Amino acid sequence: MKRRFTIFVWLSVALGAVQPALAADIWPARPIRMIVAYPPGGGTDQVGRLMADQLTQPLGQNVILDNRGGATGNIGTELAARAVPDGYTLLMGNVAPNAVNVSLFKKLGFDPVKDFSPISLVAVTPNILVAHPSLAVKSVKELLSLAKAKPGTLNFPSAGVGSSSHLAGELLKSLAKIDMVHVPFKGGGPALVAMISGEVQIMFATMPAAMPHVKSGKARPIAVTTAKRSLAMPELPTIAEAGVTGYEASTWYGLLAPAKTPKAIIDRLHAETVKILAGPARQRLEVQGFEPIGGTPAEFSAYIKSEIVKWAKVIKDANIPAE
């Protein structure tokens, strides 16, 4: 009897060990859910919808978008972190919940590093530093000179405390040693309206949102926040090349799975993502103001860790209180 029990235990262990491999071999056998931790219409939703649509054909199963907005992306991200790691739940991640929020919230229901298996950094969106036409600055150098000559008089709005438009401004304040006043709004739209109306002087706006106002002359483009010049506006310098060494702030989007998802599934999803970003979908993203990336899981993992460290320092230096 004891011998039979021992054999049963060993068989159970053996079967448990091969089960993930077997699951990976037949994956996907049913539709896949891709969680977007924001409401429909935003940048994460746009990238998520395109990737879900593009992954459906090569995987042979529908990839269905599941919008779970709330708490600055924390609700949907936590849902993804707690999902079964079988390849049937994915997350279109974003810089806020996957890198920034760990320093903004006292308690998170997930660990942005330990609870996820990175697949690929999909795209970044440059923020563009724009100024109201009435402000007598046309370059980063002129802006910094004005800010140093009149500390505390320049106002910049944001989509809210901890948003990319807020932290981009705080990073410039920290690196350039200038004093500007942050004015938070309940969303990027109202913040941009405030800048266009002259209520505030400058803004670190997302490229897709700012472009129409730049073209109409209601906003003067100064520079982009990314490490490299934007494909959409290559004539604009980066803030770094304009003199603020080390400056780089992007809104990024990346594909992740719950931690412990079988490596074979991660590898397959990465391979398909790279193919998609090298095909016609690349132009579709670029037209919308996104810059496709498509790096390896290891590169994406390292990038997330570096972003967590960077924004933690910015948040600490700016004395932004944790919620």
Average pLDDT for residues 275-296, to the nearest whole number?
Answer: 92
User: What percent of the chain is predicted at pLDDT more than 90?
Assistant: 68
Instruction: State the Cα–Cα distance between residues 194 and 133, nearest whole angstrom.
Output: 13
Count of C-beta atoms within a 10 Å radius of residue 174 = 18
DSSP string across 128-181:
EEEE-TTSS--SHHHHHHHHHHSTT--EEEESSTTSHHHHHHHHHHHHHT---E
In terms of pLDDT, which residue wins out, 107 or 144? 144
Can you list the positions of beta strands (E) in the chain? Answer: 32-36, 63-67, 89-94, 116-131, 155-158, 181-184, 202-206, 220-224, 250-258, 291-292
Outline which parts of the chain fall under CATH 3.40.190.150.
Answer: 2-124+251-317
Which helix (H) or strand (E) covers residue 285, if one does? helix 280-287
Least Cα distance to 227 among 209, 245, 254 occurs for 245
Q: What pLDDT, on a 0 to 100 scale, did the predictor assign at position 3?
A: 53
- First-to-last alpha carbon distance for the chain, in angstroms, is 58
- Asked if residue 83 lies in contact with residue 258, where contact means CB atoms within 8 angstroms, the answer is yes
CA atoms within 13 A on the CB side of 197: 8
- Per CATH, the number for 2-124+251-317 is 3.40.190.150
Q: Is 279 a residue whose pLDDT tops 90?
A: yes
Phi and psi at residue 36, in whole multiples of 5°? -115, 120
- Is residue 224 within 8 A of residue 233, CB to CB? The reply is yes
The confidence score (pLDDT) of residue 16 equals: 53
CATH architecture designation of domain 126-224 = 3-Layer(aba) Sandwich (3.40)
- Cβ pair 99, 250 in contact under 8 A: no
Q: How far apart are CA 194 and CA 180, in angstroms?
A: 16
Measured N-to-C along each axis, helices 43-59 and 280-287 cross at an angle, to the nearest 10 degrees, of: 170
User: Model confidence at 212, in pLDDT bands (50, 70, 90)?
Assistant: confident
- Whole-model pTM above 0.85? no
Q: What percentage of the chain exceeds 70 in pLDDT?
A: 92
Provide mean pLDDT across the span 241-249: 91
Distance (Å, whole) CA 127 – CA 166: 11
pLDDT value of residue 204: 94
Q: Could you tell me where in the chain the CATH 3.40.190.10 domains are found? A: 126-224
